[in-house]
Amino acid sequence: MTFKRLSEYFQKLEETSSRLKITEILAALFKESDRKEIDKICYLSLGRLLPAYEGLEFQMAEKMVIRAIAKAFGINSEEVQREYKKVGDLGKVGEEFKIKSSTLQFRSGQALRRSLSRAESRNSGQELKGQSKLWDMGPHFSPESEDSRGEVRVLGVYERLMEIAREGGTGSVERKVDKLAALIEDLDAASVRFIVRIPLGKLRLGFSDMTVLDALSWMGKGDKSLRTRLEDVYDVVADIGEIAKKVKESGLQGIAGIKPRVGTPILPALAQRLGTVEEMLEKMGTVAMEPKYDGTRLQLHKGKSGIRIFTRNLENVTHMFPDVVEALLTELRAKELILDSEGIGFDPKTGKFYPFQETIKRKRKHGIDETVTRIPLKCFVFDVLYKDGENLIEKPFSERRKILEKILFPSNKILILSPQIITDDPKKMREYHDEQIKKGLEGAMVKKINASYDPGRRGFTWVKFKQEETKKGGGLADTVDCVVMGITRGKGKRATFGVGSFLVGVRKGQEFVTVTNIGTGLSDDQFRELNERSRKLKVKAKPKGYLVDKNQEPDVWVEPKIVVEIQADNITKSPIHTAGLALRFPRLVNFRDDKSVEQISTVKEVASLYRMQFAQGE
């Protein structure tokens, strides 16, 4: 497939708001793709080059992309900047300049520049058909880069984008700019629009990995009936490209053999909420109880190829935790492992656990050694998913726990077996929960002892026990994880912050619905931080999938990237918020950088919290 053809599909997707229509367009795209390129097409359609957990980034700021556009068309960067201020989308700016470059106004200048380029290439003996002098194809050049008409194929574009992303070291900024300029020069106008957006992380086609799974099902069956089976595989191996390639090659038989493997993250199991311990015992039977730590979820991988550490949103953070890497090499009785754990920082002088706000400071790209010393970490390991070639996720939790107890040394300093009790006594459950609260923890996790590990699911195999049904006048039984959807500018003092209030929502399928507008309960620093975080994510038009009442529309829309933890006094029915429910007296607890937007609360979960209130209603 040529990249021009792929861009035609991208244009259709960009112009479509219907979730079903997007699925049908993607299914048609996947049918037209061949098995050598479908994985790359999946990644590109999601605005990346590899699975998200690989963490490959272009490291190209807007200024670099502006320079690349200017260089491609032989104009000044200031001219590109002026157009960008008018249009607000560098992709469309690049497309407009590409269209202009074919007019009489630009043709003579372009012809002269290309003539000089060809002359220089001939003189150096390095002329390549269809390639600008700016592009060094290097060892990754593929004969499949162009079709018989000289149009650049998807595989050729993908290879060139990979080289741009992998450029590093001295002079890499210039090389990235030159190579992107050359790629822009070789593509048609519509293709330029999308190729400019990809390095900026702003493809904006309005769908996620889950929609791709729907489309793969639609490709094979003409409906979404295969979605559950595909999602089961994705939960174990979170690589949408690999799954698409297997389905393209062999249908469902191709994915049947996909199992957990060291180095590839498994979607973490998630917890549900229930109102009382009696309900927990009724649904779960005899349970295991463990402390609920207010830390950062870390999935630990040890294998023949080395160590990898992933967060709950599948980000590879191995280099941020050198102390944990060392512990994985020395504190385990196994060669290959995948462990589930919670990392929590502690005061090296008193031994007391730090709150989440301090622990999350360990997640940083610079000053790592100093932070390791200042905020040492303990990883409380509570599950094992894979050991020395054996997939353990289907085994009952009681068996996994026995295996886990044999893996960890009692003398470990960092990798510590999470404490546990087994009980079916409501009184003991409450006592255990209260003990954890006194220790400064969030409460307890309640686990079904004969259940398998459920990747990515919120079933009743794990239940959070923070507090029981709320009493009248009390707070909710749990916080709500929301996404920031928009910003309303402030007045007076808040005008200096850039934020007066902000609109937040939760998930409803693949869409986002509103639950509250927050204008109080933030410190001055939090208002400033929100302004800084949202500044780079502001968009002119309401993003796809946002369902917002016209009376709730903010001054500025924000892409769904910022996850916040919200506490509220209670929940009421709401005619103006599109969730049908609203958080009353909401306040910001934390920015949750450890969670992705796919992991925020759902309408169903908010409704569950609503029902758990002691006194329902207004």
Range 272-465 classified under CATH 3.30.470.30: yes
Residue matched to tokens 């309303």 = 488
**Which residue is catalytic, options 98, 292, 387, 464?**
292
The pLDDT tens digits for 29-47 are 999 999 999 999 999 999 9
The pLDDT tens digits for 487-517 are 998 776 666 778 889 999 999 988 999 999 9
- Residue 319 banded pLDDT, cuts 50, 70, 90: very high
Tell me the CATH architecture of domain 480-612.
Beta Barrel (2.40)
Q: Which of 460, 463, 427 is nearest to 444 (CA)?
A: 463
**CB of 568 closer than 8 Å to CB of 476:** yes
- Residue 475 banded pLDDT, cuts 50, 70, 90: low
- 1-47+207-258 and 272-465 in the same fold: no
Q: Which of 143, 210, 107, 125 is nearest to 509 (CA)?
A: 210
CATH superfamily ID and name for 60-200:
DNA ligase, ATP-dependent, N-terminal domain (1.10.3260.10)
| Residue 292 appears among annotated catalytic residues | yes
Predicted TM-score (pTM) of this structure: 0.82
Q: How far apart are CA 50 and CA 503, in angstroms?
A: 32
The CATH number of 1-47+207-258, from 1.10.3260.10, 2.60.40.10, 3.40.50.200, 1.10.10.10, is 1.10.3260.10
Where exactly are the structural domains of the chain?
1-47+207-258, 60-200, 272-465, 480-612
The pLDDT tens digits for 356-396 are 888 988 988 888 989 999 999 999 999 999 999 999 999 99
For 248, other C-beta atoms within 10 Å of its C-beta total 21
Exposure string over 266-292, b if 16+ CB within 10 A, otherwise e: bbbbbbbbbbebebbbebbeebbbbbb
Give mean pLDDT, residues 520-526.
84
pLDDT of residue 379: 97
The pLDDT tens digits for 540-569 are 889 989 999 999 999 999 999 999 999 998
* Phi then psi dihedrals of residue 524, to 5 deg: -60, -40
